[in-house]
Structure 1
């Protein structure tokens, strides 16, 4: 239970955009679609960011990219994360998002650690090129300015311990007019392994005047409050911690409002949440595809709960809402929440990488002005 907070009226100001609770849902590929964002928003206030899309894909009208830009009818604040390595494409994409999709916030991804992204100089590799980073940020900020849409960026500590970039990235973000910078306290080489370095987040807070959002190892509401208290961050970005636990945003909203937090749902309540999730997916994608998309969430929802392997397997193959209802009815609604799962990592973790995959000669200089690497029209990896 959490009973104390940094401020009972904590909010997050990103340029002209006011977020009632200083909590941002991290974009996650294949996860943070319109249905999941709606599900989380039903739990508590925050900023719910769309899956990452590519600037080139958007500009060139790629069908897959455009299909990802779907918003729920009740999604009044549209937030999108944009990936790109070319300042021209990023600027054009930012203008399209503002003019055609009515977005209220654009986040630029400079944190993705996936090799197929970093080998092209994108994601977490790009901040090594300080000049290119500045050009991309300037282009996006300039394109969004007429629409009064704030542009933020997300990054990591650096490529590895020997090639840190976060302090320079913060300075560049501030100089180019970014409204905030989110820092995941891991290097690209770490990916999602080990522990996030919150001390570095605090160092960045002291280094810049724009808001800094902390990301990494926020599994419970108490972790978010502790991060803000220890680092001075203006808010938090939550990713893996909410997998199979959308009610985490209820806890976070309550915690930042100064209220006590104790959401330990029974399996019956989790069962209802699973049904709501599948229902929303079906509404947005059609029942067959929605059920297929739901399958990946089953293991996260049931983590630690008593549910036999046969039932888990059947749920992971569900193909209709009717079948889902039959299977969910087999779960024991009185089973208590597995408290042993509190505060433990969720989702992908893995091991640190021996080396970061980069374009040839990428480390030769730290400028890279005008040296954008050609990006694909569609990338499915998230940051």
Structure 2
């Protein structure tokens, strides 16, 4: 029996969530993860200011396919009025949940006082969340980190503030901003947050298979698990997690034929949504992830970085993967 998860008035079919990842969780990749059973898809983070100023590149980031929902749209920014006004302006779009990013560690975001820098300003966190909750009818969630650095571990404090401000759930990445994605994620901080708040808590960090997901649920008591890097080149992780929850066993990894067909389908989706030039270039990193661990994968990645068209990509995969 697959357990479900409710965030506000949104009922998810399961507890496995695709994490928002800039440059990764675009529409083509989200569709593949949805087909594999992800309970919620999180979009790439979008600048509230960019929407306010109608930046032309933002419209494509806001696009949602009819097959995707439930989808979480993630905004980043540091000005309560701008975030709440933009949230109200876009609310009629077909996303189910609005998420506010308070975890991004990227220097240019942090320098602007956005992303994980907000964890240093609890009062501002309250103002952003409370104003946004009042501005929209859809559930508002927040993604945070363990803290900004080892001297400022305040995920519990921020989670309590987020709850008090009216958020419907909080996602906790068990690393500080200073750690970025290095070292081991601290699941104990996720447990502490879960014990401190009544809203759903979603754990994030170092879940790469069903066994790890099961361990995170047991050790932290969290309500959902968010999968980030574990999904890169591996949309099948969601069907694997569901199978493990159902049966306690892992399905076999996709064979070479399925791997190749998924990469080519992914490439066709990228081209359909981003055009030939950008579509193929976007696929280069995805192919590198898909083929990690395969025989001669380093050579293949080097060759992938020189492909300029779908035909070149297909021919390369046909020649390099047929012998596997």
Given the two structures, how large is their TM-score scaled by the length of structure 1? 0.81
Note if 1:207 corresponds to 2:196: yes
Kindly report the root-mean-square deviation, in angstroms, between the aligned alpha carbons of the 2 structures.
1.5
User: Following the alignment from structure 2 to structure 1, what is the Cα–Cα distance between the partners of residues 258 and 69?
Assistant: 27
- Contact residue 291 and residue 297 of structure 2 kept, 8 A: no
Q: Structure 1 residues 224, 310: closer, same or farther in 2, change over 3 A?
A: closer
Gaps of at least 5 residues in structure 1 are 1-7, 336-383
Note if 1:296 corresponds to 2:285: yes
User: Following the alignment from structure 2 to structure 1, what is the Cα–Cα distance between the partners of residues 64 and 157?
Assistant: 34
User: Following the alignment from structure 2 to structure 1, what is the Cα–Cα distance between the partners of residues 43 and 314?
Assistant: 28
Higher helix share: 2
Following superposition of structure 1 onto structure 2, how do residues 147-162 of structure 1 map, counting pairs within 5 Å?
Answer: 149-162=138-151
CA deviations 1:161-214 (Å, max 9, x no partner) are 111221111111111111100000011111111000001111111011111000
Note if 1:76 corresponds to 2:104: no
- Contact residue 214 and residue 235 of structure 1 kept, 8 A: yes
Gaps of at least 5 residues in structure 2 are none
User: Following the alignment from structure 2 to structure 1, what is the Cα–Cα distance between the partners of residues 270 and 199?
Assistant: 36
- Contact residue 49 and residue 80 of structure 1 kept, 8 A: yes
Q: Residue 54 of structure 2 is aligned with which of 41, 61, 72?
A: 61
User: Following the alignment from structure 1 to structure 2, what is the Cα–Cα distance between the partners of residues 28 and 233?
Assistant: 21
Structure-2 residue corresponding to 1:11: 4
Structure-1 residue corresponding to 2:210: 221
Note if 1:266 corresponds to 2:258: no
- Contact residue 36 and residue 238 of structure 2 kept, 8 A: yes
User: Following the alignment from structure 2 to structure 1, what is the Cα–Cα distance between the partners of residues 198 and 301?
Assistant: 49
- Deviation, structure 1 residue 260: 2.8
Note if 1:284 corresponds to 2:273: yes
- Deviation, structure 1 residue 138: 0.6
CA deviations 1:326-364 (Å, max 9, x no partner) are 1111133473xxxxxxxxxxxxxxxxxxxxxxxxxxxxx
- Contact residue 158 and residue 188 of structure 1 kept, 8 A: yes
Q: Structure 1 residues 182, 310: closer, same or farther in 2, change over 3 A?
A: closer
Q: Structure 1 residues 120, 262: closer, same or farther in 2, change over 3 A?
A: same
SS in 2 for 1:108: strand
Note if 1:177 corresponds to 2:169: no
Q: Structure 1 residues 45, 60: closer, same or farther in 2, change over 3 A?
A: same
User: Following the alignment from structure 1 to structure 2, what is the Cα–Cα distance between the partners of residues 293 and 124?
Assistant: 26
Note if 1:327 corresponds to 2:320: no
- Deviation, structure 1 residue 76: 3.2
- Deviation, structure 1 residue 216: 0.4
- Contact residue 15 and residue 150 of structure 1 kept, 8 A: yes
Note if 1:244 corresponds to 2:237: no
Q: Structure 1 residues 176, 308: closer, same or farther in 2, change over 3 A?
A: closer
Following superposition of structure 1 onto structure 2, how do residues 25-40 of structure 1 map, counting pairs within 5 Å?
Answer: 25-40=18-33
SS in 1 for 2:123: helix
Structure-1 residue corresponding to 2:126: 134
SS in 1 for 2:150: coil
- Contact residue 266 and residue 333 of structure 1 kept, 8 A: no
Aligned length: 324
User: Following the alignment from structure 2 to structure 1, what is the Cα–Cα distance between the partners of residues 248 and 273?
Assistant: 34
Structure-2 residue corresponding to 1:115: 107
Moved segments of 4+, more than 6 Å: none
Higher relative contact order at CA 8 Å, sep ≥6: structure 1 or structure 2? 1
SS in 1 for 2:279: helix
User: Following the alignment from structure 2 to structure 1, what is the Cα–Cα distance between the partners of residues 287 and 307?
Assistant: 10
Q: Structure 1 residues 142, 257: closer, same or farther in 2, change over 3 A?
A: farther
CA deviations 1:7-58 (Å, max 9, x no partner) are x331111000011111111111111110000011111131111110011111
